[in-house]
């Protein structure tokens, strides 16, 4: 597989380290997805996006640390995993080894060691069949009447349009924020969703957000408030947004 076609998922809760690793991946010729900071976000992302390689920080915050995340991934996928850790005690090492990772590196990272470890891991894994990324994802999400279908693994999940509070851009995909506080990944760009949802009660208010007009609770200083979401109104979208608000 050519380096430029190898996709990488980075799971790291330190934004500076995550940004550095993402830059390294691009320098190595790989295609990194935007980094995620928790096991929950990684698993959510992987409901529709299957990377070719995963780098995981062992000490993730949240209900699941990096090793537990790897165990969960190994149950469903065959993907090489490289651990990043600031700890090299025996207990941590034994837990890492039990997940059969492709490699692990101790922080602070050395760029050459990182590149070599990834290349060796991919080479050693090349005899296995890599899990394919989903195809034609734009067709896997569609609107029918008052509901929206999202493909999650091998099933279509029905979500009512009125239950979607906002849609957020995520690389070539999007997140759907629902009234229950959950996030579902959608296999469409925000632009594609904007075209599909234009005739409904949705409007784009920022380059990264589409909102459900009926879910808006308040507007304060060019910030749209929808429950726990605080979404800025972009200058480019403000005029159209205000027109749509007045029609409600």
- Whether the CB-CB separation of 168 and 177 falls below 8 Å is answered with yes
Residue 94 lies in a domain: yes
Residue 143 and residue 121 in one domain: no
Helix (H), strand (E) at residue 96: helix 90-97
Task: Tell me how far apart the alpha carbons of residues 36 and 229 are, in angstroms, rounded to a whole number.
Answer: 19
Residues 38 and 94 in one domain: yes
Q: Phi and psi (nearest 5°) for 154? A: -105, 20
What was the pLDDT predicted at 54? 96
Same domain, 58 and 112: yes
Sheet holding 218-220, edge to edge: 218-220, 223-226, 229-232
- Regarding whether 232 and 155 lie in a shared domain, the answer is yes
Query: For position 218, which CATH number holds?
Result: 2.40.50.1020
Q: pLDDT at position 51, please?
A: 92
Residue closest to 199 by CA, chosen among 180, 183, 213: 213
- Would residue 242 count as lying in a domain? yes
**pLDDT tens per residue, the chain (248 residues)?**
444 478 999 999 999 999 999 999 999 989 999 999 999 999 999 988 889 999 999 999 888 999 999 999 988 888 999 999 887 788 888 888 888 888 889 888 888 889 888 887 886 776 444 333 333 344 345 666 677 777 665 566 788 899 999 999 987 788 889 998 888 878 788 998 898 887 789 999 999 999 999 999 999 989 999 998 999 999 999 999 998 887 65
Contacts 24+ apart (CB under 8 A), 103-107: 104/58, 107/17
The tally of domains found in the chain comes to 2
Do residues 55 and 84 lie in contact, with contact meaning Cβ atoms separated by under 8 Å?
yes
φ, ψ at 177 (rounded to 5°): -90, 125
Give CA–CA dist 6/24, Å, rounded. Answer: 14
Residue 38 lies in a domain: yes
Q: Which of 74, 105, 125 is the last residue of a domain?
A: 125
Residue 152: CA atoms inside 13 Å, Cβ hemisphere, count?
14
Task: Let me know whether 142 and 118 are in one domain.
Answer: no
Domain span at 10: 3-125
For residue 130, tell me if it sits in a domain: no
């Amino acid at each position: 597989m050519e380096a430029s076609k190898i996709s990488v998922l980075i799971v790291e809760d330190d934004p500076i380290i995550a940004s550095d690793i993402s830059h390294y991946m691009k320098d190595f010729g790989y295609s990194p997805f935007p980094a995620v900071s928790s096991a929950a976000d990684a698993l959510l992302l992987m409901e529709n996006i299957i990377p070719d390689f995963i780098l995981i920080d062992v000490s993730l915050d949240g209900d699941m640390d990096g090793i537990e995340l790897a165990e969960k991934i190994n149950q469903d996928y065959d993907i090489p995993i490289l651990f990043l850790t600031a700890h090299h005690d025996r207990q941590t090492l034994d837990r890492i080894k039990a997940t059969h990772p492709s490699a692990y590196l101790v922080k602070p990272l050395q760029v050459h060691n990182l590149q070599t470890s990834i290349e060796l891991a991919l080479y050693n894994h090349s005899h296995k069949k890599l899990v394919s990324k989903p195809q034609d994802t734009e067709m896997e999400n569609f609107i029918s009447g008052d509901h929206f279908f999202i493909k999650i693994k091998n099933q279509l999940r029905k979500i009512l349009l009125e239950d979607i509070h906002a849609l957020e851009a995520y690389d070539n995909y999007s997140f759907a924020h629902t009234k229950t506080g959950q996030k579902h990944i959608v296999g469409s760009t925000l632009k594609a969703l904007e075209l599909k949802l234009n005739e409904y009660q949705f409007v784009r208010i920022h380059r990264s957000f589409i909102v459900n007009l009926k879910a808006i609770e308040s507007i304060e200083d060019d910030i749209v408030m929808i429950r726990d979401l605080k979404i800025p109104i972009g200058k480019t979208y403000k005029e159209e947004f205000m027109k749509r608000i007045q029609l409600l």
